[in-house]
Amino acid sequence: MALLEVRDLKTHFRTDDGIVKAVDGVTFSIEKGQTLGIVGESGSGKSVTCLTIMGLNAKRNTMSSGEALFKDDNLLTMSPGRLREAVASLDDFSTPAAHEAAQQAASPVSSRQTERLGYGRRRL
């Protein structure tokens, strides 16, 4: 059984100009202890693939389908709370700092954090 199995992952975005197919049919699996590198040209969907699996795309204009099975649970259909629980249940991180970073990645970003990064503020 794979630790993470992604099947026919598709992520499309609704825009003013129509539908943009950012990811269209990605499939891969990772066994415990394996490392996967995702490579491709700029704009090929690497980041969108990862953001979709982690549930971090904007819900209002994103259409995702397929499966991202983590320990037989589909990450694409999990609630944010259940996704945080799944990440917190991981016991195979090499350091406490790596475990904490993974938990933070699955946590919602606060408006205060986005302001620190320069988002959410009106710029003249």
State residue 124's pLDDT score. Answer: 41
* Counted domains in the chain: 2
* H or E element that contains 85: helix 80-88
Residue 112's nearest CA partner among 104, 124, 102, 120 is: 120
pLDDT for 114 beyond 70: no
Q: Are 67 and 89 in the same domain?
A: no
pLDDT for 112 beyond 70: no
Q: Are 55 and 116 in the same domain?
A: no
Contact 93, 102 (CB under 8 A): yes
pLDDT for 122 beyond 70: no
pLDDT for 108 beyond 60: no
Q: What is the pTM of this model?
A: 0.70
Q: Are 69 and 123 in the same domain?
A: no
Q: In the chain, what is the straight-line distance between the N-terminal and C-terminal CA atoms, in Å?
A: 53
Q: Are 102 and 58 in the same domain?
A: no
Q: Are 15 and 72 in the same domain?
A: yes
State residue 72's pLDDT score. Answer: 85
DSSP state of 95: S
Q: Place 113 in a pLDDT band, splitting at 50, 70 and 90.
A: low
Q: Are 85 and 113 in the same domain?
A: yes
pLDDT for 39-82, tens place per residue?
999 999 999 999 999 888 988 999 999 999 988 899 999 988 88
Q: Are 59 and 14 in the same domain?
A: yes
Range(s) of the domain holding residue 62: 1-77
Report residue 53 CA to chain centroid gap: 3
Q: Are 67 and 85 in the same domain?
A: no
Q: Are 73 and 96 in the same domain?
A: no
